[in-house]
Structure 1
Amino acid sequence: MPKMKTKSGAKKRFSLTATGKVKYTQSGKRHGMIKRTTKQIREHRGTAILFKTDGDNVKKYFLPNG
């Protein structure tokens, strides 16, 4: 049986923390920033943690390596 592969789209978008939570980069920062408030821009800075149920779905894509 061949090796199971990680979904390449998932490895580009998500990463796992040491405790097993799923971390992702926040969306909405590429273009059209002039119509967003400074509060929106500030709150979408950096990374965030997915909710547990969503993270469980994403972990299925990381199955061989996560």
Structure 2
Amino acid sequence: MPKMKTKSSCKKRFKVTANGLVVGGQAGKRHGMIKRSNKFLRNARGTTVLSAPDAKIIKTMMPYAR
């Protein structure tokens, strides 16, 4: 059976940790920062762990990142 292909968009945007959690960038920081509160911008730094339903979708697109 041939190898399964990893979705290129997923391998660029997400990473799977050793415990199997999917980590991705924080949403809502592309534009329009002037209207967002300073608290939101502070809390949206770095990366965040995806929710279980979202992680399940990403893991199907990254078959060898488990």
TM over 0.5: yes
Cα distance in structure 2, aligned partners of 1:49 and 1:30 = 19
List per-residue Cα deviations over 1:4-49 (Å, max 9, x = no partner): 1100011111110011110010022122211111011111111111
Alignment partner, residue 35 of structure 1: 35
**TM-score normalized with structure 1 length:** 0.85
- Structure 1: gaps of 5 or more residues: none
RMSD: 1.3
**TM-score normalized with structure 2 length:** 0.85
The structure 1 segments of at least 4 consecutive aligned residues displaced by more than 3 Å after TM superposition are none
Which secondary structure state, in structure 2, belongs to the residue aligned with residue 60 of structure 1? helix
- Structure 2: gaps of 5 or more residues: none
Cα distance in structure 2, aligned partners of 1:54 and 1:30 = 20
Aligned positions, number: 65
